[in-house]
Amino acid sequence: MKRSLGYIKAFVLVALIGLLYGFAEKRHKSREIRKVEVKFTDTENLYVTEEVVNKLLIQNNSAVSSIDKETLDLNRVEALLNEHEMIENAEVYLTLDGKLKAEVSQRKPIGRVVGNSSFYLDKNGELMPLSQFYTARVPLMFGFDGANVSKAYNIVNYIKNDEFLTRHITGISRLKGDKYILELRELDFELYLGDSSNVALKFNNFKAFYKKAQKEKKLDTYKKVNLQFGDQVVCTKK
């Protein structure tokens, strides 16, 4: 009899704990979200603002306090953010104290196409629209469109990842046959790259030439520097 009574007490205790847990869980889910926090992984240049992300987070642009944890679909909100044309990746989660947080990584442009249609080329080689909030300081690209810009990706990406080239090269123009001419920030000679093959070799040759010509104070004496041959730099004087 005592043993049966003990079993009954244990069962009642477990049931009570389960009931309290369920009640607490339901109460937690029904609590309204009081605050939204947006964190950009790269805050230097904002191509999409916190206000825009906030509107996407609350889905219907209503007050944050009108949404409760139970009705909020985190997967849907995260998908909405990831579909935005300026966002590369977003992670959305809820905290125990009722905060809705989002960590956002923006897409990163490496070149800007200028012409009848203007857009960025991003670090993944994909087309990216211009932002109304910020203009990226990247090389300008002339003579390109959505169909051929990807052919110059390895050139623009190499420039973006090289400090020397980023400092000196301001533009790239496409010629017939997918040949390219590069524009320099302070020098007036034409830098002819040729096609997009052997980019690393051509740029290494250019840096060696630049260093030597600068030391000899001859940079202003050239009107054309040709890198297309890969194994050498051919210069034409003014």
Indicate the pLDDT class of residue 80, thresholds 50, 70 and 90.
Answer: confident
Say whether both 76 and 114 belong to one domain.
no
- Comparing C-alpha atoms, which of 216, 219, 215, 179 is closest to residue 197? 179
Residue 207 lies in a domain: yes
- In the prediction, which pLDDT does 85 show? 93
Say whether both 86 and 180 belong to one domain.
no
Indicate the pLDDT class of residue 27, thresholds 50, 70 and 90.
Answer: very low
Span 59-65, average pLDDT:
43
What is the distance, to the nearest Å, from the Cα of residue 122 to the centroid of all Cα atoms in its chain?
7
- pLDDT greater than 80 at residue 18: no
Say whether both 212 and 187 belong to one domain.
yes
pLDDT in tens, 140-179: 999 999 999 999 999 999 999 999 999 999 999 999 999 9
Instruction: Look up the CATH number of the domain holding residue 117.
Output: 3.40.50
**Domain limits for position 61:** 32-106
Number of other CB atoms surrounding residue 170 within 10 Å: 16
Residue 3 lies in a domain: no
Of all helices (H) and strands (E), which one includes residue 140? strand 140-142
Say whether both 230 and 114 belong to one domain.
yes
Number of other CB atoms surrounding residue 165 within 10 Å: 17
If one counts the domains in the chain, the total is: 2
Say whether both 131 and 191 belong to one domain.
yes
Of all helices (H) and strands (E), which one includes residue 16? helix 2-30
- In the prediction, which pLDDT does 126 show? 96
Instruction: Determine the Cα–Cα distance for residues 194 and 126; give it in Å rounded to an integer.
Output: 23
- In the prediction, which pLDDT does 26 show? 45
Among 54, 83, 106, the domain-final residue is 106
Strand duo 140-142 + 169-175: pairing: parallel
Q: What letter would DSSP give residue 120?
A: E
Which amino acid, 2?
K
